[in-house]
C-alpha cells in the first residue's frame, strides 16, 4: 500500500482511537492503537521493505489485537479471584504475553535495521542529505 493511502488511513484510525478512548471503549482503543502502530511501521519502512517484513508486521498486528481481546475476555470481576503467576488472568496476559512480545519486536527491529530500514546502498544518500541540512 502506498504512502498516499497509508497517511489518511492512519489519520482515520487515530480519530477512531480518540473517539473510542473518550467514549470509554477501552478494547476499541487498544485495537486502534495496535493498528495505528502497524500502519506507521509500514509507512516508515516504505515500499523498499521485503515481503517477510510486511508479513511480520501484519502477524504482530493480528497477534496483539487477539491478546488485547483475550485480556478483556478473561476479565471477570464478578467471579471468584483466580490468579495466574500472581495476577488475574486478564492482567497476566498483558504482563506475560504482550510485554515480552513487544521486546521481541524491538530486537527484530534492531536485527533488521541494516537490511530493511537503512540498507547500505541508501546509507551514503542519507548522510549526504543530513550534512546538506546543516
Q: 10-68, pLDDT tens digit by residue?
A: 999 999 999 999 999 999 999 999 999 998 888 877 767 778 888 888 999 999 999 99
Q: Is 38 exposed, middle or buried (0-12, 13-18, 19+ CB in 10 A)?
A: buried
Q: Distance between CA atoms of 43 and 17, rounded to whole angstroms? A: 18
- The pLDDT value recorded for residue 87 is 92
pTM comes to: 0.78
- The pLDDT value recorded for residue 92 is 93
| 77 pLDDT higher than 70 | yes
Q: How many domains does the chain have?
A: 1
Q: How many CA atoms lie within 13 A of 1 on its CB side?
A: 16
Domain that holds residue 123: 3-132
Amino acid at each position: 500500500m502506498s504512502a498516499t493511502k497509508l497517511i489518511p488511513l492512519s489519520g482515520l484510525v487515530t480519530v477512531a482511537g480518540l473517539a473510542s478512548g473518550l467514549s470509554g471503549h477501552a478494547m476499541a482503543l487498544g485495537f486502534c492503537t495496535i493498528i495505528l502502530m502497524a500502519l506507521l511501521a509500514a509507512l516508515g519502512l516504505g515500499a523498499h521493505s521485503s515481503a517477510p517484513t510486511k508479513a511480520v508486521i501484519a502477524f504482530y498486528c493480528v497477534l496483539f489485537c487477539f491478546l488485547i481481546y483475550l485480556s478483556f475476555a478473561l476479565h471477570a470481576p464478578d467471579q471468584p479471584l483466580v490468579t495466574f503467576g500472581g495476577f488475574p488472568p486478564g492482567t497476566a496476559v498483558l504482563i506475560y504475553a504482550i510485554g515480552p512480545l513487544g521486546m521481541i519486536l524491538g530486537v527484530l527491529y534492531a536485527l533488521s535495521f541494516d537490511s530493511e530500514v537503512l540498507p547500505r546502498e541508501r546509507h551514503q544518500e542519507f548522510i549526504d542529505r543530513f550534512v546538506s541540512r546543516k
